[in-house]
Chains A and B, each alone.
Chain A
Amino acid sequence: QVQLQESGPGLVKPSETLSLTCSVSGASISSSTYYWGWIRQPPGKGLEWIGSVYYSGGTYDNPSLKSRVTISIDLSKNQFSLRLSSVTAADTAVYYCSVSTDLYDPLDYWGQGTLVTVST
């Protein structure tokens, strides 16, 4: 079974860049079988897909985030990462990493999530 674990700072200042990493176990991130994704959930609110990355480095992201998103993959560390630039308080959320067997497949496994607060 694939296991995912998010890590990164829990507090980011406004206008700075949020950076998170998802460590993967139980599967190889270099496998062509999977797509690796990021989803966020503001406190008490619903789910928003941020974007996904394939082992080749190809990425797909949500236009609503207006090109602030960079998702990358590190095959040597079996990890993938999220960078979200120019953050505001509206970016305060629990950030989840996830995996699916295709971009157009449901999200089978999720990490436990990490709360990132944007504040001075």
Chain B
Amino acid sequence: DIVMTQSPDSLAVSLGERATINCKSSQSVLFNSNNKNYLGWYQQKPGQPPKLLISSASTRESGVPDRFTGSGSGTDFTLTISSLQAADVAVYYCHQYYTTPLTFGQGTRLEI
């Protein structure tokens, strides 16, 4: 299984400041034939299902504010929130869909 490890486990950031969440996979999730990283980021607020923010490591989903940016390739990935808003308080998960079993990071709790 591909193990996804996020850091930190929790993070407190002031409003308007930058938040950075890291995700490391135990093996590469880059498919060489199409140069695509099979890595997504989700946001989960209390009592709600996860919401897909970013796919292919860096492609923002429709309607996702541009303050959310995904980067990285291979085994090391980052989700950056450029200017934290109160609405961004949530738990964030990375997810590899390169191979089954599909796996998720343990989550990073983002607080203000």
Which residues of A are interface residues toward B (Cβ below 8 A)?
46-49, 60, 62-64, 96, 100, 103-108, 110-113
Contact = CB atoms under 8 A, between A and B. Distances in A.
Interface of B: 1, 38, 40, 42, 48-52, 55, 93, 95, 97-107
Contacts of B97: 100, 103-107
Contacts of A107: 40, 42, 50, 52, 95, 97
Contact of A96 (B49, B55, B102, B106): B49
Contacts of A113: 49
Given A47-B50, A106-B55, A112-B49, A63 B93 contact: no
Contacts of A110: 49-51
A62 B104 CA distance: 13
Contacts of A60: 100
B105 A103 contact: no
